[in-house]
Amino acid sequence: MIRQRLARWLTEAFAPAVLVSVLLVLLGVHSEPGLARGLAMGALAALFESVLPYLYILRGVRTGRITDHHIGDRRQRLVPLMVGLGSVAAGIVVLLLAHAHRELMAAVVAGGVGLVVAAAVNHWWKMSVHAAVAAGSVIILSLVYGPVLLAALPVVAAVGWSRVELKDHTWPQVVVGTVVGALVAGGVFAALR
């Protein structure tokens, strides 16, 4: 019972929508001139990359088109991933028009590329998006704030454990998600920043 509660808490506290939102606000504050602009730009990026796609998922759950907000049924993932990609594309346009800092733009593009890869992989196999986003977030934050943030890697392991404990994923799905998330997010972000 305690293990299940802890696993549920980890899954919700470090869900992709939460991690992406926090990551983008932190990057906005780090890269933009002035705290107010940084918060605003980070929040704007989070709106398009995280909040709007998550609201679409919640609406799908409420109407019965999606079984749960983590989209446990792999067959239901493609449309929300495509909606997320459309939202990211719109966000990129808005952020470009707002003259967002290159570092923030790099993170948004990395998230979009991650969505494309997740959609492709999840068409055939249920890779853990939780693990991918957790790993990608740690890598991006360590590139921005320094390698000391690699100390957050145990959070990635804890998220992976939670997904397996809740029987939402197998260990291979978590490991592949972790590796893909770290390589895609870290690689794209590093190349574009």
Other C-beta atoms lying within 10 Å of the C-beta of residue 172: 12
pLDDT tens digit string along 123-160? 888 899 999 999 999 999 999 999 999 999 999 999 99
Q: What is the pLDDT of residue 77?
A: 82
Q: What is the pLDDT of residue 141?
A: 95
* Residue 86, CB-side half-sphere exposure with 13 Å CA sphere: 10
pLDDT at 120 over 80: yes
pLDDT at 72 over 90: no
Domain boundaries, the chain: 2-192
Going 107 to 108 to 109 to 110, the CA torsion angle's sign is positive
Distance CA 176, CA 127 (A): 6
> How confident is residue 71, by pLDDT bands cut at 50, 70 and 90?
confident
Q: Average pLDDT of 96-103?
A: 96
pLDDT at 48 over 90: yes
Q: Average pLDDT of 94-123?
A: 94
Helix-strand-coil split of the chain, %, nearest 5 = 85, 0, 15
pTM of the model: 0.93
Distance CA 169, CA 178 (A): 12
Mean pLDDT score of the chain, rounded to an integer? Answer: 94
